[in-house]
Amino acid sequence: MLNVGKIEEGFVLDHIKAGQSLSIYHHLQLDKMDHTVAIIKNAKSEKMGKKDILKVECNIEELNLDVLAVIDKNITVNVIKDGEIVSKKELTLPKEIKHIFKCKNPRCITSIEQELPHIFFLADEKEGVYRCRYCEEKFDKRRLVQ
């Protein structure tokens, strides 16, 4: 059994589908930040069989977790302060996602104008459908697990 130490302040993202942690690491843009991060893959889980866990040591105000709701609403977000879980953050679909996903539609204006921000808006809250702000092409969620 692998042991990873406690964190003082930050988030523990639990119940991540096995194999998705690295993709989440990138979507949260943790690769561009200096936070201490532990990625635990294929941990044993009674509920899921296998799961991934991400531990991020950071100021809890600093990290925007909105995108998690788009990836998987079932991820548990434990908020840690002074080494203890102080709350569980509820995940809600953000109205807009900026600078995280790129529009892949080759006919979209963003395909030729590199400086434009890539923005997706929540077009259907019930179904969790996002569309590109420019070309309105539907965001393909299968890309999230790639």
Partner 1 sequence: MITERGGILDKTRVRPIRHLMNPLDFTVDELEKLFDLAGDIEREPAKYAKVCEGKKLATCFYEPSTRTRLSFEAAMLNLGGEVLGFSEASSSSAAKGESVSDTIRVISCYADICAMRHPKEGAAYVAASKSLIPVINAGDGGHQHPTQTLTDLLTIRSLRGSLSGFTIGLCGDLKFGRTVHSLINALTRYSDVRFIFISPEELKVPDYITDMLDEKGIGYEEVISLEDVIDKLDILYMTRVQRERFFNEEDYVRLKDFYILTKDKLDKAKSDMMVLHPLPRVNEISVEIDDDPRAAYFKQAQYGVYVRMALILTLLGMEPV
Considering only 44, 47, 107, 142, the residue that binds partner 1 (CB under 8 A) is: 107
The sign of the CA dihedral 18, 15, 91, 65 is negative
Least Å distance, CB 135 to partner 1, is: 4
- Asked if 72 and 51 count as a contact pair (C-beta separation under 8 A), the reply is no
Considering only 115, 126, 142, 146, the residue that binds partner 1 (CB under 8 A) is: 115
Q: Which residues fall within 8 angstroms of residue 73, CB to CB, at 6 or more apart?
A: 91
Q: Decide whether 11 or 134 has the Cβ nearer to partner 1.
A: 134
Least Å distance, CB 72 to partner 1, is: 25
Does residue 134 belong to the site contacting partner 1 (CB under 8 A)?
Answer: yes
Does residue 116 belong to the site contacting partner 1 (CB under 8 A)?
Answer: yes
In order of 29, 37, 40, 86, 134, the CA distances from 32 in angstroms are 6, 12, 19, 27, 26
- Asked if 54 and 16 count as a contact pair (C-beta separation under 8 A), the reply is yes
Does residue 132 belong to the site contacting partner 1 (CB under 8 A)?
Answer: yes
CB atoms within 10 A of CB 138: 13
Q: Decide whether 43 or 116 has the Cβ nearer to partner 1.
A: 116
Residues contributing to the site for partner 1 (CB under 8 A): 105, 107-113, 115-116, 132-137
